[in-house]
Amino acid sequence: MFKEVKYKDILNIKHLSIKKNNITCIVGESGSGKTTLLRLLNRLISHDHGEIFYHDQPLSQIDPVKLRRAVTMLPQTPATFSGSIKDNLLIGLEFAERPLASDNELYELLKRVKLNKELDQDAAKLSGGEKQRVALARVVLMNPEVLLLDEPSSALDEDTEHIIIEELVNYTRKRGKTLIMATHSKKVASQFSDQMIEIKDGKIINGKGV
Ligand SMILES: Nc1ncnc2c1ncn2[C@@H]1O[C@H](COP(=O)(O)OP(=O)(O)OP(=O)(O)O)[C@@H](O)[C@H]1O
Ligand SMILES: [Mg+2]
């Protein structure tokens, strides 16, 4: 929940409540503040006015590492690390010193993001949209409570986009997750969201279910 939150002169949100276990889409034109809003939610940046609460606790009082384990972000331009697809999938778990997933689990995950590739394949040789899906799978593997996805389907064609978002939505519902996604696609937002937040010049101008 946001109360009177300001970030520089970029965002100014009087009140915003994002619901648990919902699919929330953030829409708005380029430069309106979608990425900034997502970055505030896991403290990649800190607001300079007001307060943001996660489960009724002010973000400023939650250990950032713990917060990011529960509220994990897929950046708008995700990194691809040198090495295989498997290396790229496991790097988040390795970094967090958590148990790794088996090859079988990883193949299941690749199937979910519609990537018919071998785990030992060089990740550098994937297409832009394939890299985007590996990065998405990496976030899903981290098993966070809240997934913050910044334009997760921007590099995908419309059909693949539909399949991937539908898969994500099913996953979110089945596993009781919360999905917060910035998207330039109003079609995706209106079709899949429970809650839609429209931002213009850093302000919320429209909200479905807000
Ligand atoms: N670190 C920063 N310092 C200063 N200004 C910034 C910073 N990050 C973003 N901005 C500015 O804040 C505004 C909102 O940027 P933001 O990245 O949140 O937009 P967006 O809605 O995600 O756009 P897009 O759809 O292009 O990804 C833009 O005008 C941008 O130039
Ligand atoms: Mg953005």
Q: Is 39 in the pocket of ligand 1 (CB under 6 A)?
A: no
pLDDT value at 208 more than 90? no
Q: Is 36 in the pocket of ligand 1 (CB under 6 A)?
A: yes
Rounded distance from Cα 63 to ligand 2 centre (Å) = 25
Length, in residues, of the chain = 210
What is the predicted pLDDT for the residue at 10? 87
What is the predicted pLDDT for the residue at 209? 60
The larger pLDDT score, comparing residue 5 to residue 19, is at: 19
Structure tokens at 56: 């009724």
Task: Report the residue among 36, 180, 198 best suited for mutation to probe ligand 1: largest number of ligand atoms under 8 A from its CB.
Answer: 36
* Sheet containing strand 195-200, strands side by side: 71-74, 146-150, 178-182, 23-27, 195-200, 203-208
CA angle 173–70–20, rounded 5-degree value = 40
Q: pTM of the predicted model, to two decimals?
A: 0.93
pLDDT value at 5 more than 90? no
Domain-by-domain residue ranges, the chain? 2-81+143-204
Q: Taking phi first (over 0 means left), then psi (-120 to 50 degrees means alpha), and beta for anything else, what does residue 47 get? A: beta
Nearby residues of 159 by Cβ (< 8 Å), 6 or more positions away: none
What is the predicted pLDDT for the residue at 59? 92
State which ligand 1 atom lies nearest to the alpha carbon of 36.
18
Write the pLDDT tens digit of every residue in 119-137.
999 999 999 999 999 999 9
Backbone angles phi, psi at 36, to 5 degrees: -60, -40
What is the predicted pLDDT for the residue at 72? 96
Sorting pLDDT into bands at 50, 70 and 90, what band is 144?
very high
CA-nearest residue for atom 14, ligand 1, is 33
State which ligand 1 atom lies nearest to the alpha carbon of 38.
18
Whole-Å CA distances, 27 to 74, 84, 128, 137, 208: 16, 34, 22, 23, 11
Q: Write down the CATH number for the domain with range 2-81+143-204.
A: 3.40.50.300
pLDDT value at 175 more than 70? yes
How are beta strands 57-58 and 11-16 bridged, if at all?
A: unpaired
Q: Is 24 in the pocket of ligand 1 (CB under 6 A)?
A: no
What is the predicted pLDDT for the residue at 164? 95
Residue-averaged pLDDT of the chain: 93
CA–CA separation, 138 and 176 (whole Å) = 18
pLDDT value at 96 more than 70? yes
Rounded distance from Cα 202 to ligand 1 centre (Å) = 9
Mean pLDDT of 42-68: 91
Rounded distance from Cα 119 to ligand 1 centre (Å) = 35
Write down the number of H helices and E strands in the chain: 7, 10
Rounded distance from Cα 34 to ligand 2 centre (Å) = 5
What is the predicted pLDDT for the residue at 210? 60
Mean pLDDT of 4-28: 88
Mean pLDDT of 52-62: 92
